[in-house]
Structure 1
Amino acid sequence: MKKTVPTVGLADASDAVALLDLPEEIALAMGGPKGKHDAGRAAVRHGTGKGSVTLGGRRIPVQRPRARTLDGHEVPLTSYEHFAADDVLTEVVMEKMVAGVATRRHARTAEPVGDTVSATQKSASKSAISRRFIKLTKTALAELMARDLSDHDIAVLMVDGEQLAERTVVVALAITADGTKVPVGLRDGSTDNKTVVGALLADLVQRGLNVDDGLLVVIDGAKALAAAVRDVFGEQALVQRCTLHKRRNAADHLPDKDKDWVDAKLVKALHHPDPAQGLRNAQHLATQLDKTYPSAAGSLCEGLDEMFTVARLGIDGLLAKTLTSSNPIESMISIARTTNRNVTRWRDGQMVLRWTAAGMLTAERSFRRVKGYKQMPQLVAALHRHAHPKEKTDTEPAGSAAA
């Protein structure tokens, strides 16, 4: 059972030791209390030694009792080892930083332990917290970038460029066959940079991402990103463009007086029950715009066919809404933005990556399965038909495989 230590009303650091049950633990190790002779004892008391424990979000120096076996080996004390470990303090630091608590405010937000004990505290200064968080985020980045994907049955990969601080990072989020979201990677750079995106996707393959049974890749509107997906994954991957990005991009080329009616027509086309007719309606809208607003028409036409990929796979309802936008990624990145809102100076791209990775892994702890996850088997089956078009089921006529 995990030990808990009261943090209020401690007169001095020795009270903290008493709360850890160390004297009792030593007595048990020796086979009896101090002063009672025991011919069969296996250990003897060995004075005290300097140590420290985590208490109320800081390190407190203590004099810990010691014991040794009869042949001279130190007796490990479970209570002390638990509270002496850095894990507890590390967890506190990470949670506070992710919640947006500035390094200079950590000491003020620590749990109260009394003035006497607080006067001896360590690891609560701004510089100490900063060093610990740098170490934590380096670990988080390494964990994220080395995550083994071979054990994950990944059906969907979402890739998007997100603006963080003064830099852009490319973020990748996988969705498994049962609807579970898994952060899988990030790179410093833009989705408009084919080299950056290609390196990210190739790294995912190296780490075990298998596309042999088909993969749906949801992307923003960047041409370089679509090209990189085709280069790395080939024909096994199907691209779905984010409809929200498309609508925003088209609106950016229009005056305010025309934005609403154009968007209404585009939304109607995107939600048409027949994806082929929806595509034709969207193309007709682009033709309407071409004379008056050629840049809006050009923006609308770019990658338009890939706006209907999910619909052509036969997916509708909640899952279609999930898979036709990059909202799952943007929701995850919002955690990273909360984490870094107090940062006033970004030293380099590595710092941005470290903080972003920490935010992504923190967000993962609160993930739920995607909306519409009950339709995931339908999507997996459709992707399989796309990846293996020559296969036919007993009930499926020839030529009906998903395109």
Structure 2
Amino acid sequence: MSRRFVAKTTAQLAAWQTASLESLDLVGLLIDGVHIGEHCLIVALGIAADGQKQALGLWDGSTENTRVCQDLLANLQSRGLRTDRSLLVILDGSKALRKAVRAIFGDAALVQRCQVHKMRNVLEYLSDRDRPWAQAILRRAYQATDVKKAQRLLLDLARRLEDEYPSAAESVREGLEETLTVQGLGLPERLQRSLTTTNAAESVISRTRHVKRNVKRWRGGKMMLRWVAAGVLEAVKGFRRLKGHRDMPTLVATLRARDQRLGLTTAEEKVA
């Protein structure tokens, strides 16, 4: 590996991790941890008001690590990410990450727990015999546009699992309301599906595989960060807007109405 490449990728990563976010009109924040070999990286994506995805940063660490979660959110805040108005925050289910989000954003954060992560967690407790029918119910619940119907399906599933699979039943109930946050907003179905999982983060990392193939052995977290960041910054050039992006004005209007209900005052409103 040439010193020139190391210097270039180090500079790219540093510039990316310190770039100002003040000009971005973000209405959503997506954070997920992805495993590469023995390492875990955390990816943060922003969702703009027009549905365009923005790569905000990459960190070495796990979303289960409280200090790492606090540091990455503090980094985003110091770079200009707004915390004075409602923001949809889509998380992988980590309790440490959720706690850090609440500490930074307070009531401004509207938290959506990733439905794919929750489904995987529930199904891991079940036998091969019982996974298919339980998975079908979970999918029906998460695809429902009526949040009350989704709640009924999930609570009924928890009751059915209670005797034979108490841990699975507990997993269904744990964070249940936050897995249905977006469904409770009454958004059009296609946009709803785009905002209920952290799949976009995993997709970003998967698009860096052509870069990672050039590495036969990772020599620590710094090297991995440099290479994956280089791949992400290349992938950014091909980013497309969210599926259902034409309905983003509905989400924006819903968030601004929430601001008014909660009495959240933006900097612009204070000036006015």
**Does the alignment reach a TM-score above 0.5?**
yes
Of 135, 147, 150, 1:263 maps to: 135
The answer for the alignment partner of 1:387 in structure 2 is 259
Unaligned segments of structure 2, at least 5 residues: 264-272
2:131 and 2:85 mapped to 1: Cα distance?
Answer: 40
Residue in structure 2 matching 1:375, options 247, 252, 256: 247
Q: Which residue of 2 aligns with 1:344?
A: 216
Task: Please tell me the residue identity of whatever aligns with 2:52.
Answer: T
Shift of 1:335: 2.2
**CA distance in structure 1 between the aligned counterparts of 2:212 and 2:5, rounded to whole angstroms:** 12
Aligned match of 1:315: 187
Larger Cα-atom Rg: 1
Query: Larger relative CO (CA 8 A, sep 6+): 1 or 2?
Result: 2
What corresponds to 1:282 in structure 2?
A: 154
Mapping for residues 2-401 of structure 1, pairs under 5 Å: 127=1, 130-389=2-261
The residue identity in structure 2 corresponding to 1:150 is E
Tell me, yes or no, if the aligned pair for 2:83 and 2:104 is still in contact at 8 Å: no
Shift of 1:258: 0.5
CA contact under 8 A between 1:148 and 1:208: conserved in structure 2?
A: yes
In structure 2, distance between residues paired with 1:314 and 1:355: 40
CA offsets 1:261-290 (integer angstroms, 9 cap, x no match) = 001111112222320231132022112111
Which letter maps to 1:300?
V
Distance 1:137 1:164 in 2: 18
Q: TM-score, normalised by structure 2?
A: 0.92
Q: Confirm or deny: 8 A CA contact 1:270 1:279 kept in the other structure.
A: no
Q: Which has the higher helix share?
A: 2
1:50 corresponds in structure 2 to none
Contact 1:144–1:184, Cα closer than 8 Å, also in 2: yes
Please list every run of 5 or more consecutive structure 1 residues that lacks an aligned counterpart in the other structure.
Answer: 1-126, 392-403
Tell me the distance in 2 between the aligned counterparts of 1:278 and 1:180: 28
Task: Give the fraction of aligned pairs with identical amino acids, expressed as a percent.
Answer: 46
The letter for the 2-side match of 1:373 is H
SS of 2:208 mapped into structure 1? helix
Deviations 1:63-102 (A, max 9, x none): xxxxxxxxxxxxxxxxxxxxxxxxxxxxxxxxxxxxxxxx
The CA deviation at 1:381 is 1.1
Note the aligned Cα RMSD (angstroms): 1.4
4+ residue runs of structure 1 moved beyond 6 angstroms?
Answer: none
1:369-391 CA distance string (max 9 Å, x none): 11111111111111112222067
2:145–2:186: 8 Å Cα contact kept in structure 1?
no
Q: 2: distance between equivalents of 1:267 and 1:305?
A: 16
Q: Note if contact 1:212-1:387 (Cα within 8 Å) is conserved in structure 2.
A: no
Instruction: Indicate how the Cα distance of structure 1 residues 295 and 387 shifts in structure 2: closer, same or farther if over 3 A, else same.
Output: same
Aligned counterpart, 1:27: none
Compute the TM-score of the two structures, normalised by the length of structure 1: 0.63
SS in 2 for 1:256: coil
Counterpart residue type for residue 174 of structure 2: E
Q: Distance in 2 between matches of 1:198 and 1:287?
A: 36
Report deviation, 1:188.
Answer: 1.0
C-alpha distance 272-368 of structure 1, shift in aligned 2 (>3 A): closer
CA distance in 1, matches of 2:235, 2:262: 41
Q: Distance in 2 between matches of 1:262 and 1:351?
A: 41
- In the alignment, what sits opposite 1:109? none
Contact 1:333/1:360, CA 8 A, preserved across alignment: yes
Name the amino acid aligned to 2:68.
V
* C-alpha contact (below 8 Å) 1:213/1:388 kept by paired residues: no
Instruction: Indicate the residue corresponding to 1:21 in structure 2.
Output: none
For 2:21, the aligned partner's letter is: L
